[in-house]
Amino acid sequence: MTIDVRQQDPMSPTTAPTAAAPSGDAPSGHRPLPTGDRPAAGRVGAGLFEPKQLIASLPDALRKLDPRVMIKSPVMFVVLVGSVVTTVLALKNPGDWFGWAITAWLWLTTVFANLAEAVAEGRGKAQADTLRRAKTGTVARRLTGTGEERVPGTELRIGDRVVCEAGDVIPGDGDVVEGVASVDESAVTGESAPVIRESGGDRCAVTGGTRVLSDRIVVRITTKPGETFIDRMINLVEGAARQKTPNEIALHILLAALTIVFLLAVVTLKPFAIHAGADEQTSLIVLTALLVCLIPTTIGALLSAIGIAGMDRLVQRNVLATSGRAVEAAGDVSTLLLDKTGTITLGDRQAAAFVPVRGTTEAELAEAARLSSLADETPEGRSVVALAKERHGLSEHDPLGPADAEWIEFTARTRMSGVDVHGRKVRKGATASVVAWVEERGGEVAADAQERADAISQAGGTPLLVAVEDDRGARVLGVVHLKDVVKQGMRERFDELRRMGIRTVMITGDNPLTAKAIAEEAGVDDFLAEATPEDKMALIKREQAGGKLVAMTGDGTNDAPALAQADVGVAMNTGTSAAKEAGNMVDLDSDPTKLIEIVEIGKQLLITRGALTTFSLANDVAKYFAIIPAMFAVAYPSLDKLNIMRLASPESAILSAVVFNALVIVALVPLALKGVRYRPSSADKMLRRNLGVYGLGGLIAPFIGIKLIDLLLSLVPGLS
């Protein structure tokens, strides 16, 4: 990658602005959405077969029997038509118990398929009901030219400015344009700790329905009533905006094609049966049962549930996707763009080592550095004190007290801080500033001081010189090595992404030397230093031109173009409205590292769909061996050799296959909702695993299941 090298001063002791989150915005891992008495339906894999949940989902499953709804799934529409046909035939011959049994299980197959989707949707609706409780009829204090007026929140329009003080509910989505306040966002994020929202910067966005806890802010409304963030969340988790993804559409076409092929195959069996004298064994009810068992009903029934569950797993991690397309795209991502500050690193430079010059001990340098940092409340200053205590057991508190010391605060002009105490002066700061301070006092700078500072700079760190003036004169004691600390476990996570076939690129505004050092320590594949919005856009377009899908995170207005360009753009909830509008996902926890989890969830969705498709197609083979011999063994006794399960009778064989076909849908619902466990590996390994586990399993399970059902049915008089 070509890097535009624009020199910066790597020795400045000031900390670059970071995205470090205040209380409540810290990375949280996996937090449920939201707090309160969350129903069992809102927990992944929990309470799946609780009677209350099944009863609650059953009406929705029955409503989905509407042909206008069923036709959206060609496979299940064929099952519905078959159920209607067998019902008519059973009514014509009320004494045919076999026809009624087949009819009942075909209807159960259709209902079970709808129940899988209804349960998945019910989990989202349970979350939506909880979110609705966050919407209240608020009264807004809208600013006018002469003061303020109280109006219902529903009357607010884009551009209106409203005042919110402690205890007020923010009436609509907007940006803080004046003031700073502590805001309770637990209704949206599930995080009980308050967060800070202030005008300017990337932490100005506020959400309607959240509550101001302190101070006073002025909010400019950025959304229309009914289009607020919570409104969109409710629509998303209910699945109203879920669109089929390209892969899902392709799979629907495949399933429809297989259904047509099997339909033609089954239709042609009737003439063969008449010719072979097996007309009685190939009644319309039997042929319908054969068709339903041979078409891929299992994956056809679970396909929608898999897609809904994929979005649900994101919601469980406090991430909202605008459509299923974003979730699936995450599974196909091949390039991941990650911001350095707050994502790969902790975001604050930390003291890593004390490097004394010749003639000075490390303990002497550590004591001077600690003393000059006691009044320094910056993250760097606190880290120096902490390192001195850790390495040399020095106290974190000044034993002399403020009356005996004159503290020198850091300023942009002096670029130094320190303390004057008992005639001794200690200074800590940028290399050039400390060297000038020593020389002004007639002191000499040790020859190796600049060498040590240069070595730290070349390694990507920030050197802070420490000097002292006492009865021995002014002199430099050594250098404090500051470095941006890489978060624990990041190298392992990037190794995992590499095994997944994903290339990672770190984006930073740091100079190339610092960027290179951090990139090597973190283990990313590449980096972009001194990145501008234009640089980010160019990088994304370059990757996409090579046929790759790109994902990135961002929270600022300057990130909006890149978020819109990326295939998966994850905007932070704490970010600006422009960023949230540009991205196709919003992370309510504002945790940039969650992008890695999002990719894993996307891959899990694709793997789950592939695994269950493999299982569904494989178990059709076993059902073939159950039904075909039963239909034609009378006419062609040699076909009895295919009856390897030794089923009791033709009626028992056909009914056993139909019963298994219905029950296997119910058995696989938990797997469809929870998802197949994802293990980072190459595409070849995943294919072999899918074929070995779900292909072989889909082949063996029906033989066992159908045989067990046949043994139970053989106990029924008249079936043996």
Q: Which residue is catalytic, options 175, 339, 376, 587?
A: 339
**Per-position DSSP letters for 573-638, written without gaps between them:** TTS-HHHHHHSSEEETT--TTHHHHHHHHHHHHHHHHHHHHHHHHHHHHHHHHHHHHHHHTTT-GG
Long-range contacts formed by 514-517: CB under 8 A, 24+ apart: 514/10, 514/460, 514/461, 514/462, 514/484, 515/340, 515/460, 516/460, 517/459, 517/460, 517/461, 517/483
Burial tier of 235 (Cβ tally within 10 Å: 0-12, 13-18, 19+): middle
Q: How far is CA 612 from the centre of its chain?
A: 22
Closest C-alpha among 182, 154, 180 to residue 167? 182
Tell me, yes or no, if 184 is annotated catalytic.
no
Closest C-alpha among 533, 537, 539, 540 to residue 556? 533
Please, which residues bridge with residue 551 across strands? 336, 568
Compute the distance between CA of residue 408 and CA of residue 301 in angstroms, rounded to an integer. 72
**Residue 345 CB contacts under 8 Å (≥ 6 apart), including other chains:** 484, 485, 486, 487, 518, 522
Residue 341 DSSP SS3:
strand
Biggest alpha carbon distance in the chain? Answer: 119
Compute the distance between CA of residue 66 and CA of residue 70 in angstroms, rounded to an integer. 6
Compute the distance between CA of residue 281 and CA of residue 289 in angstroms, rounded to an integer. 12
Question: Cα-flanking dihedrals φ and ψ of residue 504, to 5°?
Answer: -105, 135
Compute the distance between CA of residue 217 and CA of residue 539 in angstroms, rounded to an integer. 38
Residue 187 DSSP SS3:
helix
> Which residues are catalytically annotated?
339
